[in-house]
Amino acid sequence: MRHNKKFNHLGRTASHRAAMLSNMAISLIKHKRITTTVAKAKALKKYVEPLITRSKNDTTNSRRVVFSYLQDKYAVTELFKEISVKVADRPGGYTRIIKTGHRLGDNAEMCFIELVDYDENMAKDKAAKKTTRTRRSSKKNSPAAAPQGEETAAPAAEEAVAETATAEPAEDKKAE
Residue 18 near residue 68 (C-beta atoms within 8 A): no
Domains identified in the chain, total number:
2
Distance, CA of 176 to CA of 171 (rounded, Å): 9
**Does residue 156 sit in the same domain as residue 120?**
no
Residues 120-165 pLDDT 10s: 755 566 656 656 666 776 555 555 555 554 455 455 555 554 554 5
7 domain residue, yes or no: no
5 domain residue, yes or no: no
**Does residue 34 sit in the same domain as residue 114?**
yes
Amino acid at 40: K
Distance of CA 85 to the CA centre of its chain: 21
**Does residue 69 sit in the same domain as residue 146?**
no
Residues 67-77 pLDDT 10s: 999 999 999 99
8 domain residue, yes or no: no
Distance, CA of 18 to CA of 71 (rounded, Å): 12
- Per the structure, the complete domain to which residue 170 belongs is given by 134-176
Q: Which residues, 6 or more positions from 157, have their beta carbon under 8 angstroms from its beta carbon?
A: none
Distance, CA of 47 to CA of 85 (rounded, Å): 20
70 domain residue, yes or no: yes
Residue 45: which CATH number? Answer: 3.90.1030.10
Residues 16-65 pLDDT 10s: 999 999 999 999 999 999 999 999 999 999 999 999 999 999 999 999 99
Distance, CA of 15 to CA of 10 (rounded, Å): 12
DSSP letter at 90? Answer: -
19 domain residue, yes or no: yes
**Does residue 22 sit in the same domain as residue 48?**
yes
